[in-house]
Amino acid sequence: MATTEATLDAPQEAQAPQHVPHDKLVIMAWSGDLDKIWPTFILGTTGAAMGMDTTIFFTFWGLFPLVRNDVHVTGENWMQKMMSMMNRGGTEHLKLGKMNFAGMGPAMMKKLADEHHVASPEELLEVARDLGVHLVPCQMTMDLLGLTRDDLIEGLEEPAGATTALLEARDAVTLFI
Amino acid sequence: MNETIAITLDLKGLSCPMPIAKTAQAIRALRPGQLIESLATDPGSVPDFKAWCVSTGHELVEQTEDSGVFRFVIRKEG
């Protein structure tokens, strides 16, 4: 038993004094589901807290959590408008990837989170912005879904494309959520 | 230890990642070498504060536990 512990402890001790500077975290936030955007915000906030230069690219469904909660319908043509009605944006209107049960799932999840003092996506987003996380909306998705800059919350970077995302990701820990 | 603690944070009841995130927000106000004290009840904060110090270069000076409250004293790097 003692031998096992020693083996497990050894690499940790060797790593402990090393301070790894200049590391980066890039998250490609593809999903707008509550149970995916939540860990996205948790990891993004933590990355920035750890001193990592942290960027989150919001693309496809991942862009919807950045829609302002008071915006009801987005889009310029009827298809984009229909899409936004079937999938309303904003952190208050997110669905669960599984066990959604017409909104009962998210309500229960939020109640549990509240009871266990787990920070809400809104709180996490606020801390993330304060710690300097770069929140970058995908320009192509905005065009595709007819989202304008005014539909989205404050504090975002200028919209950008895949090249910007991949350039950032080149020397970064990269997650696709 | 008889050094002065510059800031004490009450993070009791908060879950991951808030104890670390709030400490990271607060430590910005300190000068290098100053001490911050964080009080948390999340058991996950024990490995997390260690990992955070390794990652940031801050020094975990003291870590104690008293009736479910974990106390971390951290010296700002630099």
Distance, in Å, from the CA atom of B48 to the CA atom of A84, rounded to the nearest integer, reads 39
Percentage of chain B with pLDDT > 70? 97
3-state helix, strand, coil in chain B (%, to 5): 30, 35, 35
CA A148 to chain centre: 19
Higher pLDDT, B3 or A66: A66
Which residue in chain B has the smallest CA separation from A131? B25
Q: What's the mean pLDDT when you consider all of chain B?
A: 95
> Edge to edge, what strands does the sheet with A53-58 contain?
A134-137, A53-58, A24-29, A173-176
pTM (2 decimals)?
Answer: 0.85
pLDDT for the residue A116: 87
Give the closest of A51, A116, A131 to B21, CB-based.
Answer: A131
Distance, in Å, from the CA atom of B52 to the CA atom of A46, rounded to the nearest integer, reads 9
> Edge to edge, what strands does the sheet with B5-11 contain?
B5-11, B35-40, B69-75, B59-66
Residues of B in contact with A50 (CB under 8 A): 20, 24, 51-52, 55-56
Q: Is A102 left (phi over 0), alpha (psi -120 to 50) or beta?
A: left
Mark out the alpha helices in A50-174 (DSSP H runs): 78-86, 104-115, 121-130, 139-145, 162-169
B13 and chain A in contact, CB less than 8 A? yes
B34 and chain A in contact, CB less than 8 A? no
- DSSP of B6-39, one letter per residue? EEEEEETTPPTTHHHHHHHHHHTTSPTT-EEEEE
A27 and chain B in contact, CB less than 8 A? no
**Dihedrals phi, psi of B60, to nearest 5 degrees:** -80, 100
Catalytic residue among B5, B16, B21, B29: B16
pLDDT for the residue A85: 87
Each residue's pLDDT tens digit in chain A (177 positions)? 444 444 445 444 444 555 555 599 999 999 999 999 999 999 999 999 999 999 999 999 999 999 999 988 899 999 899 888 888 899 988 898 888 888 889 998 889 888 888 999 999 999 999 999 999 999 999 999 999 999 999 999 999 999 999 999 999 999 999
Alpha carbon separation from A13 to A9, B52, B54 (Å, rounded)? 6, 15, 11
Alpha carbon separation from A56 to A74, A98, A160 (Å, rounded)? 22, 23, 11
Distance, in Å, from the CA atom of A104 to the CA atom of A16, rounded to the nearest integer, reads 45
pLDDT for the residue A103: 86
Q: Write the pLDDT tens digit of every residue in B18-76.
A: 999 999 999 999 999 999 999 999 999 999 999 999 999 999 999 999 999 999 999 99
pLDDT for the residue A22: 56
pLDDT for the residue B40: 97
